[in-house]
Structure 1
Amino acid sequence: MEFWDIYDMDRIKQNRVIRRGDEFSEGEYHVVVHVCIFNSAGEMLIQQRQPFKDSWPNQWDLSVGGSAVTGDSSQEAAERETEEELGLKINLKNVRPHLTINFETGFDDIYLIEKEVNIENLKLQQEEVQSVKWASKEEILSMIKKREFIPYYPSLIHLLFDIRKKYGSHQKV
C-alpha cells in the first residue's frame, strides 16, 4: 500500500497523507516525477508498460515515472523510481526538475538527464516494465499518432528534446 504526502496549491507540504487510490479533497495535491534519459545521439530511453497495468497497458512511455511516496523529496522519488523500474542508479542531489507541470491532483516534476546506458544491463521491474528501447523524437511522435505511446501532447515531446541540455524557456542567442 502506497501513501503520498499532501501539498497545497502553493506546493507547501501539509501534515496529511493520502492512500493511493483514495479521492483527493479540493485543494489537495501530490508530487509525481518523470525522468527522461537521453543518450549522446539525442535519443530518449523509453519503456513499454506491462499489459496488466490498469492505466495505459502495453503503451510506451517516457523513461521513468511514478509518485513520490510519503517522506520523499522530488529528487529522492525520481532516483527511487529510476532504480525500481530500470535497476539504474542516478544521483539528483541538488538537481532541480527541468519542468514542473500542474495537473488536476498534483505536480509533474520532469527531470532530463543525459546518460549512456546499455539497455542490455538494465534490470526491468517486472510489475511495471516489459521492455525498453532508445527512440528519436520523430519515432516517439509517430508512436503517439499510432496510439502506441501514451498520448502526451506532441509539443511536450518537442520541448523535452529541445531543452534536454539546458534550463529555462528561451534560447541563448
Structure 2
Amino acid sequence: MNAPEIAVSVSCETWRDVLPDGEAIVIRASSAALAEEGLAERRLELSVVLADDESVRTLNRHYRGKDKPTNVLSFEGDMRDDGADGTDIGDGDRPPLLLGDIIVALETILQEAQLQNKSPGDHLSHLVVHGVLHLLGYDHENDDDAELMETRERAILAGLGIADPYGSGPRDADLEG
C-alpha cells in the first residue's frame, strides 16, 4: 500500500520540553491535510523540522530576503510533477516524490499562540496544515487565493477538532509559509 512518509526532525530540543507531543501533532496535522487533499495513499515524502527562531530567521533571510524569523517556511520538492508524462504522482514503480520541507519556529509560534489565545499544539497544527497546503500549490497572494486557502485550512482543522484559527477577525498576515 502506498502512503506518505512524514519525517519529523527536532533541531531545537526546547520543542520537547514545551510540546512533548509535538512530533505526533505534526504527523496528525500533515496526514489530515494530505488526506483532505486526496493524497493519503500517494507515495510522497514530507519533511517537517521543528526549529528555533534563529534557524528560521537564517533561512528566511537567505531564501526570501527577509531578515526576521517567521512562524513557518515551506520549500517545495518535486511535487510539481503532475503526471503529465503519463505516470501518476507518487504511484507505481517510481520512487516517492518529495513533497517538500516545512520548518516551524518555536519562539514565534509560542508568542503567536499566546497573543491569539490558542494552545501551542493547535497553533502548531494550523501552521503544519498551512505549510502542507503551500507545498500543494495553495497561496494567499490575493484575497481570492487567501480565502480558498483559509477555507481548506478551516475544513482540515475542523476535522481534527481544532477551532477556526481565523475566528471572526482579520486574516493572520503573519502566515507566510
- TM-score normalised per structure 2: 0.30
- TM-score normalised per structure 1: 0.30
Higher helix share: 2
